[in-house]
Chains A and B, each alone.
Chain A
Amino acid sequence: MSAMKTVITSSGDTLQSTMDSRFGRCAYFCVYDQESGTTSFLKNEFATAQGGAGQKVAEKMLMLGVQRIISGDFGPKAKAILDKYQVQLVKFSDDQKTIQQIIETLK
């Protein structure tokens, strides 16, 4: 698979942060580029939105061209649009794992 871009929802902006199990209202996104092995962190500007956070974060993921998202769960609106554009959604139940540990399992 080439240039696979994965997002992991994160509670902080370092590799030692744990996963944030919320999708639309996570604190940060860790964008992991599988090809280059690089990671970058983006703050979630919709974390405290009054409504529509899931939909807006899904929009952001699609604008970034993400192909896979790892999070605790996905709401119905976000899931509908992400499914439509064939983004792989991975539900990860262990929110004590760090971003680093999750990335190791992807390699």
Chain B
Amino acid sequence: MNSKNFKIAIASGKGGTGKTTVAVNLAHYLAHDRQQQVLLVDCDVEEPNDALFFADAQLTATVPVLLPVPEIDTQKCTFCRACVDYCAFNAITVIPPLRHAEVSPELCHSCGACLYACRDGAITEKDLHIGTINTFRLGNDLQLLEGRLNVGLATQTPLIRQLTGKAKTSLGTIIYDAPPGTSCSVVATLAGADFVLLVTEPTPFGLHDLKLAVELVRSMDKDFAVVINKSDKGFGEMQQYLSEEALPVFVTIPFDREIARQYSGSRLLIESIEGYKRHYSEMAGKIFETTTV
């Protein structure tokens, strides 16, 4: 198959199941063992940490991310509160008796509804610096794009859109390491993916959130498969769910205390744990044989 610009997203629903583990190890495996040109994209912009796993990572570019945020001119404002009614994020405060009108940039999602609502021409937009996109060179055929949201802001989604927009023009295989959950930021990450790997763990929480994640990828009409991580004694309810829904399980990675030890030392497991690479060889084989580009 032709792997030009094939985009794989690693998502989970529940946090802590192993998205980052799978993303960094898969990226390294594809670049080193399958000689693919790989771009890893850390979309977990509230706490990006993919770069930590590559000791030789070289930062090659840092670009600021700007987002237009509304400002209210109180000379033009008639304090009608139409913008307040339009704002779904409680980001606008207007107090007519005090002739007070202001926007809270940290709550604003830059949806533009207030600009539409205002009949007095009192709202204009001003660029707010919300974070950065960093580019790292990780090896000959491996690059990392990392989105990093400024602390205290709620604008993950627009930052991720700019990040994936920048990534998608790249050649080779693109791996999106998604944030946890199933909300807007995850939808933005998955939107451009050709294939989604859902990483889960065999626990009641893992199963609960896997169901939400499956519902999400189905509603987005994405091809997907499941990776069961930290598997030990098994969990009957998860097996039952997977077989009832006929979901493809690409790899089951056993629980191993040594994995936690190596991960917490920010080491790549395919390099530090004997025999671990076969999980990625199996995973890659299935991804590239089941998908046709």
Chain A interface (Cβ within 8 Å of chain B)? 46, 49-53, 55-56, 58-59, 62-63, 65, 77, 81, 85
Contacts and interface: CB of A to CB of B under 8 A. Distances in A.
B247 interface: no
A22 to B, nearest CB: 16
Contacts of A52: 89-91, 104, 107
A53 B89 CA distance: 10
B249 interface: no
B89 A51 contact: yes
A47 to B, nearest CB: 12
Interface of B: 89-91, 93-98, 100, 104, 107, 154
Given A51-B154, A52-B107, A77-B104, A62 B89 contact: no
A10 B154 CA distance: 29
Nearest to B93: A59
A105 B89 CA distance: 38
Nearest to A54: B90
A25 to B, nearest CB: 12
Most A-side CB within 10 Å, residue of B93, B94, B100, B107:
B93
Contact of B93 (A49, A50, A81): A81
B93 A51 contact: no
A101 to B, nearest CB: 31
A63 B104 contact: no
Given A51-B107, A55-B104, A77-B104, A63 B93 contact: no
B98 A85 contact: yes
A65 B100 CA distance: 13
A46 to B, nearest CB: 7
Contacts of B93: 55-56, 58-59, 81
A21 B23 CA distance: 44
Contacts of A50: 89-90
A46 B97 CA distance: 21
Nearest to A46: B90
15 contacts: A49-B90, A51-B89, A51-B90, A52-B90, A52-B104, A52-B107, A55-B104, A55-B107, A56-B93, A59-B94, A62-B98, A65-B97, A77-B104, A85-B98, A85-B100
